[in-house]
Structure 1
Amino acid sequence: MNSNIIKIAIVGPESTGKSTMAKWLAKHYHTIWVPEFARGYCENLTADCTWQDEINMFHGQLALEKELAPQANKLLICDTTFITVKIWSEALFGSAPQEVLDELPKQQYDLYLLLNIDMPWQDDPLRNFPTRRAHFMQVWHQELQTLNANYVVVSGMGEERYQNAVKAIDAFTASV
């Protein structure tokens, strides 16, 4: 990947607007966004998610990012990262695949936007934990702090939320 590309990861618990935010930011910055591989993968599952599915989603997210990165215009906006695989594996199975844990410190993003849980829950067949958003928000904080990641919590509703994300990205890019 082009080392001049700034990688921005949009992360957070379920139903915080990650995909919508990623699309909006990519349009705003005239660049490409990397969709969440797991969403399409899980839409095609005919049974409960397995350990192997988690590993497949890990590899799929990395491959999709690698495939789309050359099309980026200065910024690469990523709708989540494979840290989600670690978080979900631990929630569902009690641990995460070793290859995911090994890759975590190698796949840093320049800036993470952690979307706050201050917006209403939107029901979706792929969402599982409407009552555990605060728990998963804390998990995201812990994961990002463990990685010593550069991150900003983005709050607000509607246009305010988008503008807060833009302010965070603009402040970051002005400092590098």
Structure 2
Amino acid sequence: MSPNAAPIVRVVVTGSECTGKSTLTDMLAKYYGVPYVEEYLRKYFVEHDGELTLEDALPIAKGQLEAELAVEAKRPPFLLCDTNMLSSAVYNKYYYKNNPEWIETTMDERVYTLYVLCGIDIPWEDDGQRDRPLERGRMQKLFKKELENRCVSFVEVQGTRQERLTCAVAAIDAVLFGRC
């Protein structure tokens, strides 16, 4: 990046499991006409037969970052991510009571402009990866706490798909164009 180039705007759709993150990310990508970074964990989970341990935390986080860098290299108007390492941090702390230092350091160094926190007001669906339908409220609180502890900008979205899209677009437009 040249010294005068503006830093890339990075928008992350995040939240507890089964909150419509992938659906909203896809809708936002279509709305803005931009590529997006898919959730790396899904692919990794399948490749490892659904058996994950803390040892998988770094490969998952690094795979997510590599996917982000690949999309960034295409120089989109902004980077749109279906989750990022924040999810790794939350789940690592929840499942393993630990988060690798590399993830913490990388999260501190890599700036994300806006997080869109998807609410748990939609039905939980079993897809073989999701495993805590009764823990969504608790997990959502952990996501919100993580965002607050990191002092990052975020907006919560709830309601129908269209209501979520409208709210997310307003927040992203405010970042991109300086309007509310």
1:152 paired with 2:155, answer yes
Q: Distance in 2 between matches of 1:25 and 1:120?
A: 21
1:47-86, aligned counterparts within 5 Å? 48-86=51-89
Name stretches of at least 5 consecutive residues in structure 2 with no aligned partner. Answer: none
Q: Distance in 1 between matches of 2:41 and 2:82?
A: 10
Q: Distance in 2 between matches of 1:71 and 1:163?
A: 26
Q: Deviations over 1:61-112 (max 9, x none)?
A: 1111001112243121100011111111111111111111222211221111
* Matching residue's letter, 2:40: F
TM-score scaled by structure 2? 0.91
State the identity %.
31
Name stretches of at least 5 consecutive residues in structure 1 with no aligned partner. Answer: none
1:113-132, aligned counterparts within 5 Å? 113-132=116-135
Aligned length: 176
Task: Say whether the 8 Å CA contact 1:32–1:72 is kept in structure 2.
Answer: no
Per the alignment, do residues 20 and 72 of structure 1 end up closer, same or farther by CA in structure 2, a change over 3 Å counting? farther
Where 1:10 maps in the other structure, the secondary structure is strand
Q: Deviations over 1:45-72 (max 9, x none)?
A: 1352022211100110111100111224
Shift, 1:158, TM fit: 2.1
1:90-169, aligned counterparts within 5 Å? 90-169=93-172
Task: Say whether the 8 Å CA contact 1:156–1:164 is kept in structure 2.
Answer: no
Task: Say whether the 8 Å CA contact 2:24–2:161 is kept in structure 1.
Answer: no
Task: Say whether the 8 Å CA contact 2:10–2:80 is kept in structure 1.
Answer: yes
TM-score scaled by structure 1? 0.93
1:17-32, aligned counterparts within 5 Å? 17-32=20-35
Report the RMSD for the aligned CA atoms in angstroms.
1.6
Choose 154-163 or 129-138, whichever is displaced more. Answer: 154-163
